[in-house]
Structure 1
Amino acid sequence: MPGGARNASSSSQQQQSQQQRYTPSMAQVNAHYRRKNATVAYYTLSIILGTVAFSYGSVPLYKMICQTTGWGGQPVRAHGPDSTYDDADLAARLVPLTSSPRIRVTFNASVSDVLPWKFTPQQREVRVLPGETALAFYTATNNSDRDIIGVATYSVTPAQVAPYFSKIQCFCFEEQRLNAGETVDMPVFFYLDPDMVNDLNAKGIETVTLSYTFFKAKYDDNGVYKAPSAFPGLEGPAPRKIAA
Structure 2
Amino acid sequence: MICQTTGWGGQPINVHTANQSSDPASRLIPVTDSRRLRITFNGSVSDVLPWKFTPQQREVRVLPGETALAFYTATNKSDEDIIGVATYSVSPGQVAPYFSKIQCFCFEEQRLNKGETVDMPVFFYIDPEFVNDINMKGIDTITLSYTFFKARYDKNGHLTPVPG
- Say yes or no: does 1:137 pair with 2:44: no
Does structure 2 retain, via aligned residues, the 8 Å contact 1:80–1:193? no
Q: Percent identity?
A: 72
Aligned-residue offset at 1:194: 0.5
Matches within 5 A, 1:1-244: 65-70=1-6, 77-82=11-16, 89-219=23-153, 223-224=158-159
Aligned-residue offset at 1:67: 2.2
Does structure 2 retain, via aligned residues, the 8 Å contact 1:171–1:187? yes
Q: Greater relative contact order (Cα 8 A, min sep 6): structure 1 or 2?
A: 2
TM-score by length of 1: 0.59
Aligned-residue offset at 1:138: 0.1
Partner of 1:62: none
SS at match of 2:85: strand
Task: Give 5+ residue unaligned stretches, structure 1.
Answer: 1-64, 227-244
Aligned-residue offset at 1:77: 2.6
Letter in 2 for 1:70: T
Does structure 2 retain, via aligned residues, the 8 Å contact 1:75–1:166? no
Letter in 2 for 1:216: K
Partner of 1:229: none
TM-score by length of 2: 0.86
Provide, for residues 93-118 of structure 1, a one-character-per-residue CA deviation record: whole Å limited to 9, x for no partner: 10000010000000000100100000
Q: What CA distance in whole angstroms lies between the structure 1 residues aligned with 2:38 and 2:12? A: 22
Does structure 1 retain, via aligned residues, the 8 Å contact 2:43–2:147? yes
Aligned-residue offset at 1:180: 0.3
Aligned-residue offset at 1:224: 4.1
SS at match of 1:218: coil
Task: Give 5+ residue unaligned stretches, structure 2.
Answer: none
Aligned-residue offset at 1:81: 2.3
Aligned-residue offset at 1:225: 8.0
More helix by share: 1
Letter in 1 for 2:5: T
Max Rg structure: 1
Partner of 1:14: none
Does structure 1 retain, via aligned residues, the 8 Å contact 2:9–2:107? no
Q: What CA distance in whole angstroms lies between the structure 1 residues aligned with 2:126 and 2:14? A: 8
Aligned-residue offset at 1:70: 2.5
More strand by share: 2
Partner of 1:5: none
Letter in 1 for 2:115: G
Letter in 2 for 1:89: D
Does structure 2 retain, via aligned residues, the 8 Å contact 1:129–1:192? yes
Q: What CA distance in whole angstroms lies between the structure 1 residues aligned with 2:148 and 2:9? A: 17
Question: Aligned pair in 2 of structure 1 residues 104, 174: CA closer, same or farther (>3 Å)?
Answer: same
